[in-house]
Structure 1
Amino acid sequence: MNVPTIHADLERHFDNDLEDIRRFLRQPSISYTGEGIRETAWAVADLIASLGGEAEIVETPGHPIVYGELWQGAPQTLLIYGMYDVMPTDEDGWIAEPFGAEIHDLPGLGPSVICRGAVNTKGPLAAFFTAMRGIQRVEGRLPVNLLFAVEGEEEMGSRSFPAFAERYADKLRRADGVLFPFFEQDEAGMPSLVLGTKGMLYVELICTGGEWGGPTERGIHGSYNAWVRNPAWRLTRALASLVDDGENILVEGFLDDVRPLPEREAALLDEQIDAGLFDAGVFRDAYAVRRLKEPDDRRAWHRLFSQPQLNIDGLFAGYIGPETKTVLPHQATAKVDVRMVPDMDPDRVLAGLRAHLDRGGYDDIEIKVYNKYPWSKLNLDEPVVQAMIRTYRALHGRLQLWPINPGSAPYYVFERLLGLPYVTGGLGHGSRQHSSNEYCTVAGILDFERSMVTFLDEYTRGQTPQGDEHA
């Protein structure tokens, strides 16, 4: 491909591309409520058709998955994985309408699109299509065949995706690799590339009044706490038993299956830290965190990539409205997520949580499972990974290689079920996903488009890996 010419073409058409991306972002698609889901699925199908591909809306027990094909007579085929669903927008502090895709000048970042889904991940999904249009304008056709699998339940734990992948396995296995387009530059402009993802276990711990005490059917007047025990106290004591004061996990056997970082990845991480490529201060500043659990930055980075977590996402019981209302609730609930590293097994982790509560005398506390899927790891030498590394080097010069994504995604479906290598990547910056004022920078969208063109060029040229100097 004539990459410089395509890059120049994208710059000339950027104003139109930006408006197309903003239009896509304005369409709500909240998976937990279903708002706008079906309309957005059809919008994704239209994007595939706009490239000359064929798309179908695949029904599932949950939200539909958009499957598509675009055959170019090319020797290589990429599966484009994506998600069109987003989180709710109920957080306080939005400075713009959450689905307005308004452009605001953010301090230190410049003009930025504020919208739910701007970074996670409708923004990069739409920008991938505008980048492909740029290639078609200059070259006439893409250098690879594309398959598409874009789901509407990723924020709910990809509940329908594994069954879809099994059903469409023969079609999906025609791909040579998988690309998940994403804005991967941090606030300082450093791009990163992850070599896998942690697994996910998301549960509710529910404490209800019963034989142990507490009202069993409804909340009662708070004054009766003199007589009646409170499920909220019981639940908070149970939660406190899971970790120590430093939030180190105390569940028996929880860490037994944790595999240390591979020597090659641990050494590479240390090399990058020594070279100044990893700066925990960027995270602290961007997320308004004054202190990390681990004060030593080197140990903090190793902990992030090698250790599991047990996190309370939400805790609620009784009256949480304005002013006062004295009540003794009959039920208290905590939403908890566990992020698992190799070689942890989700079923063993769940059984360990159950056994821990039972041993502590909390056998009445219910565990309700919402999401449960395993970790995934990727080989550094896979062609799709090497192509993204060369892309970052060509356009930025440096990059961070992360041994694993601290977050979670259903990549085990590609690795274990389909046997396909995958990569997440792209230039561009956005942040505040799952929070108010989610954004992506306007300049970063153009950088992302350019990086997608460069990536396809690097991937189709298929250079051979050159040793271990990847950072």
Structure 2
Amino acid sequence: MMDFRNVDKLNRRDMIRGTAMLGAGAAFMQPLPLWAQSGTMTDIRKAAEAGKDASIKRIRDWIALPSIAAENRSMAEGAAYMAELAKDAGFTNVEIVPTDGHPGVFGTIDVGAPRTLGIYFMYDVKQFDPAEWSSPPLEGQMVERPGFGQAIMGRGAVNQKGPEATFLAALHAIRAAGRKLPVNIVLVCEGEEEIGSPHFRQIATKPNILAALKKCEGIFIPFASQGKTGNVTVNLGSKGIIELELIASGEKWGRGPKGDVHSSLKAMVDSPAWRLVQALQTLVTPDGNKPAIEGWYENVRPLTDREKSLIREAAKAGDEAAQKQALGITHWIDNLSYPDALTRLAQEPTVNIEGLVAGYTGPGGKTVLPGKAVAKLDLRLVPNQTRAEAEKKLRAHLDKHGFTDVEVNVSGGYDPTEVAEDSRLVRSELATYKKLGVVTSINPRMAGSWPGATFTAPPVSIPAAHFGIGHGSGAHAPDEYFLIDSTNPKVAGLVDATMGFAEFLYVLAAIK
């Protein structure tokens, strides 16, 4: 693994030849007719290093403003702050975009370049309980992460404010170095990603925003993609998701109490909580591992031979023991082998219970029979499933099994995302990682979700993906962090991650 500081010294012939580090994606590499002019990256790095303290402050100040869509907390302030960040980084025509929910932000940088890149941001974060954190979640304190180095800790640090602020740092560094951006940039940002992006399509299809997006070679979300080995996985898509609640209540059922009653009455009163449990049991096979909703697999596209081979290659490079340790498990589902478990991870749609709430859940007992029970679910979708199809089939399934009274309240979601392996966006990612000396593998589909389908589907219809080096962890969990000063020579700290984004812009401008 090379020192990231030396990437601008790479021999051009070595950059465009040699494919060992690119793994299966090498077949799609094209020679690059032009890299950044000599000295450009050196100047940009000097500017990035000089602006490091300002970059850290930018992340810390952003962490201090927690815009939480699920709690309707500081959403207007979050959008306004995002707009100011965009203006400060050089975006013009910046506007706060109203929706039927929380607002988005849009802006452009037009330098008259032949190519345009789209960038997707989210300014919202997940909820948090300060009591669960070892460092105050809104203070952005520096902490030591063994095996990585000094990191900034706080809600949103890695998901996604740290990586997003690092991309902005690249724009600041390029400008401070007196260099012209090699591509035009379109920024589209939302504040509802953490609740399933229920109104994001309204932003992306607003006429002026849609017109700008359709000019883009593709769009990516900034991402901290490195673990301890420094290797990166390039994902050719992501699963879709639906977030919802199933609610069983005595009021809707017409049986059981309308409110909580004494538990001794269970001998003669129906239980909405058991009603919900029975409804949930019909959604999956007895072991809970496979959706059993009628027609659920009707449109599921099986993995291709190419996709299966990519997964097998990724399994060879993966660390199964470390992954199990990180997850706190000892076995994969159905006792599958590691390659088979990874294949199932990419292939299978899921029905997951996020949480169950009914009656009293505090210390000790309260001997009540609850009048209402709620299950929070997420349903992960794979190509060629759609959100609309899945919602319709879930409702039909519950009705068929006699649960017409069980309410289905969908809060958000979107379709799966797919991006072509030979798209200019993906080839630019692979070429940039190659230039940076980062070992890559290609994965057919990320098990997680993001609203990339808003871009890949009509009317936008452009490639969408993740990109970025650097490291962070703890998304949606306590002690979330983003690496600033790396002590691991294989993993990028803040300045190197900043340079990774700068490199990508020049590669995208040059690649055929």
Instruction: Give the TM-score range, shorter chain.
Output: over 0.9
1:231 aligns to 2:280 (yes or no):
no
What CA distance in whole angstroms lies between the structure 2 residues aligned with 1:118 and 1:188?
A: 21
Confirm or deny: 8 A CA contact 1:91 1:435 kept in the other structure: no
1:33 aligns to 2:74 (yes or no):
no
1:363 to 1:247, Cα distance in 2 relative to 1, 3 A: same
Equivalent positions of 1:191-270 (< 5 A) are 191-209=232-250, 214-243=255-284, 244-245=286-287, 247-270=289-312
Q: Deviations 1:322-375 (Å, cap 9, x if unpaired)?
A: 233221100101011111101113233223322332333323211112224211
Residue type at the aligned position of 1:461:
A
Match of 2:162 in 1: 123
List gaps (5 residues or longer) in structure 1: 464-471
Moved over 6 A (4+): none
Residue type at the aligned position of 1:14:
K
Of 4-13 and 142-151, more deviation after overlay is shown by 4-13
Counterpart of 2:177 in 1: which secondary structure? helix
1:452 aligns to 2:493 (yes or no):
no
Match of 1:285 among 325, 346, 357: 325
Match of 1:23 in 2: 61
How many equivalent pairs are there? 461
What CA distance in whole angstroms lies between the structure 2 residues aligned with 1:76 and 1:410?
A: 23
Match of 2:29 in 1: none
What CA distance in whole angstroms lies between the structure 1 residues aligned with 2:313 and 2:229?
A: 19
List gaps (5 residues or longer) in structure 2: 1-35, 487-492
TM-score normalised per structure 1: 0.93
Q: What is the identity percentage for the equivalent residue pairs of Structure 1 and Structure 2?
A: 36
What CA distance in whole angstroms lies between the structure 2 residues aligned with 1:109 and 1:300?
A: 28
Of 381-390 and 102-111, more deviation after overlay is shown by 102-111
Q: Deviations 1:368-401 (Å, cap 9, x if unpaired)?
A: 1222421121101111111111222222431131
What CA distance in whole angstroms lies between the structure 2 residues aligned with 1:214 and 1:432?
A: 43
Confirm or deny: 8 A CA contact 1:94 1:436 kept in the other structure: yes
What CA distance in whole angstroms lies between the structure 1 residues aligned with 2:288 and 2:76?
A: 44
Superposed displacement of residue 91, structure 1: 7.2
What CA distance in whole angstroms lies between the structure 1 residues aligned with 2:277 and 2:97?
A: 43
Of 61-70 and 19-28, more deviation after overlay is shown by 19-28
Counterpart of 1:88 in 2: which secondary structure? coil
Confirm or deny: 8 A CA contact 2:291 2:349 kept in the other structure: no
Confirm or deny: 8 A CA contact 2:196 2:242 kept in the other structure: no
Match of 1:334 in 2: 375
Match of 1:413 in 2: 454
Of 309-318 and 65-74, more deviation after overlay is shown by 65-74
Match of 2:15 in 1: none
What CA distance in whole angstroms lies between the structure 1 residues aligned with 2:332 and 2:137?
A: 30
What CA distance in whole angstroms lies between the structure 1 residues aligned with 2:251 and 2:115?
A: 61
Residue type at the aligned position of 2:473:
S
Residue type at the aligned position of 2:496:
D
TM-score normalised per structure 2: 0.85
Confirm or deny: 8 A CA contact 1:104 1:113 kept in the other structure: yes
Q: Over aligned residue pairs, what C-alpha RMSD do you find?
A: 2.0
Superposed displacement of residue 68, structure 1: 0.5
Match of 2:6 in 1: none
Match of 2:90 in 1: 52
Counterpart of 1:282 in 2: which secondary structure? helix
Confirm or deny: 8 A CA contact 1:314 1:336 kept in the other structure: yes
1:23 to 1:212, Cα distance in 2 relative to 1, 3 A: closer
What CA distance in whole angstroms lies between the structure 2 residues aligned with 1:272 and 1:332?
A: 42
Of 136-145 and 279-288, more deviation after overlay is shown by 279-288
Counterpart of 1:310 in 2: which secondary structure? strand
Residue type at the aligned position of 1:65:
G
Superposed displacement of residue 446, structure 1: 2.7
Superposed displacement of residue 162, structure 1: 0.7
Confirm or deny: 8 A CA contact 2:236 2:418 kept in the other structure: yes
Confirm or deny: 8 A CA contact 2:231 2:438 kept in the other structure: no
Residue type at the aligned position of 2:410:
V
Match of 1:467 in 2: none
Superposed displacement of residue 296, structure 1: 0.4
Confirm or deny: 8 A CA contact 2:264 2:367 kept in the other structure: yes
Match of 2:28 in 1: none
Of 115-124 and 390-399, more deviation after overlay is shown by 390-399
Counterpart of 1:41 in 2: which secondary structure? helix
Confirm or deny: 8 A CA contact 2:130 2:136 kept in the other structure: no
